[in-house]
Structure 1
């Protein structure tokens, strides 16, 4: 979806835009808002991210030339809760919260502050998967309501070359609950015979998706990393009572009331640790 100039200027989606986005997520599994964040902000985020990516890879002894994580060269780690990563335009962007609140309720929480990066040199795609497991194991044979939404902010233009996410929309999030458990039919085997889409998007776009939608990372054949900021919003009834995001007290106190409400269950008053 392209957001209108009027909505961009106002920083607020029209009710009909919110409703369309909500219905797209419910029916198709995702919605994409193109080029929302200013380019200068995204470039600064990318520069600061690269500064922590190298040490994070060294910490875990990951060498792109040798290959890691089954030669996918994909790495994910928690982001430090400090600027520019914890900017309100990331953690509580009004375009995101308008949609998330409609689906999860306005008392939902933000309980995942992470990154997913396709590092150059990858040779294989990830296995097709969803980002959640079954809530009731093999017992539940009906589809359940959405309880988690993943939000991705790409920090570079995502193209065919640099490892775009590949998704299987239009129904893979609508299976019975037991389809997301360990005993369900092999997703990669099925996915070979299904239509998929590579999510190509300009830097600063916003991708909102049901965490059950099947997807995988693809190899990055460019010369530079392809990072995404990755957040998860969860309905209040299904959220952990104690989160894992470490937020200094002074940082939390400077947030908007909306952001404070989203982060109310996290580790407030704990110093920020390096990316891990």
Structure 2
């Protein structure tokens, strides 16, 4: 979706825009708001992310690159928990008005952040990830019906994403609407079905917002370029899940009331972490 100049300047979506975006997620499994973050904010996040990645590779590079076939089974995809500190905890990241308006429409008002992380496709990947949803079944083999959306992934790409630098491939239009037990070990195998189904590779300019149902089938693809392809990644959840985010008390006290509510389930009063492998 392309957002109007008026909406970008006011940081407020028209009600019909919110309704369209929410319905696209419900029906298709995802929506993209193209290039909505200011370029200067994207540049600031990109520089900070590169510094964090350089630090991480300097500390863990040997164990990551030890296998000549690549890491993470040759996909060279790396998830890193980010420190809850500027610029990663900027309001335009953790409580972007566009994203919250859409998520409010789907999850209500009482959800929270349950993941504060990133996903990066590094150069040199030998193969794509397996096709998968991010979360499994809620009720094992017992539930034969499709459940409401309870968790939404929020991504911000820090570079333009195109075919050459490891875009996410998705299977939209129904893979998030399967009966609950389909997401368990006794459900259909996405790897067997996906080659016979329609998929698209998600291209988007830096600073876009991608919101998707965690159940939608997807995979990371190999990065054929010479530069990393990073996404910031948060999950907003209507039910309590993980509490991996460490937030110093002073930092938490200085958040907006909405941000405090969003991070209320996390580790308040703990020191900021260093970039850490998921």
SS in 2 for 1:8: helix
Question: Contact 1:64–1:119 at 8 Å: present in 2 too?
Answer: no
Distance (whole Å) between structure 2 residues aligned to residue 198 and residue 264 of structure 1: 35
Q: CA deviation at 1:65?
A: 8.5
Q: CA deviation at 1:64?
A: 8.7
Q: CA deviation at 1:55?
A: 3.0
1:145-164 Cα deviation digits (max 9, x unpaired): 00000000000000110000
**What does 1:255-266 align with in structure 2 at a 5 Å threshold?**
255-266=255-266
2:184 counterpart residue number: 181
Any gaps of 5 or more consecutive residues in structure 2? none
SS in 2 for 1:192: helix
2:220 counterpart residue number: 217
1:63 counterpart residue number: 65
Distance (whole Å) between structure 2 residues aligned to residue 244 and residue 71 of structure 1: 27
1:74 counterpart residue number: 77
Residue from 149, 160, 165 that aligns with 1:162: 165
1:10-62 Cα deviation digits (max 9, x unpaired): 10001110000110000000000000101121112111111111332342621
Distance (whole Å) between structure 1 residues aligned to residue 188 and residue 28 of structure 2: 21
**What does 1:127-276 align with in structure 2 at a 5 Å threshold?**
127-235=130-238, 238-240=239-241, 243-276=243-276
Distance (whole Å) between structure 1 residues aligned to residue 170 and residue 39 of structure 2: 25
1:35 counterpart residue number: 35
- Residues 158 and 185 of structure 1, relative CA distance in 2, 3 Å threshold: same
Total equivalences in the alignment:
273
Q: CA deviation at 1:179?
A: 0.6
SS in 1 for 2:36: coil
Distance (whole Å) between structure 2 residues aligned to residue 172 and residue 232 of structure 1: 19
**What does 1:63-142 align with in structure 2 at a 5 Å threshold?**
63=65, 66=68, 67-142=70-145
Measured on the aligned residues, the alpha-carbon RMSD in Å equals: 1.2
SS in 1 for 2:156: strand
Taking structure 2 as the reference length, the TM-score comes to 0.96
SS in 1 for 2:64: coil
Distance (whole Å) between structure 2 residues aligned to residue 160 and residue 178 of structure 1: 33
- Residues 64 and 229 of structure 1, relative CA distance in 2, 3 Å threshold: farther
Distance (whole Å) between structure 2 residues aligned to residue 190 and residue 54 of structure 1: 38
1:123-155 Cα deviation digits (max 9, x unpaired): 100000000010011111100000000000000
SS in 1 for 2:196: coil
Distance (whole Å) between structure 2 residues aligned to residue 210 and residue 64 of structure 1: 34
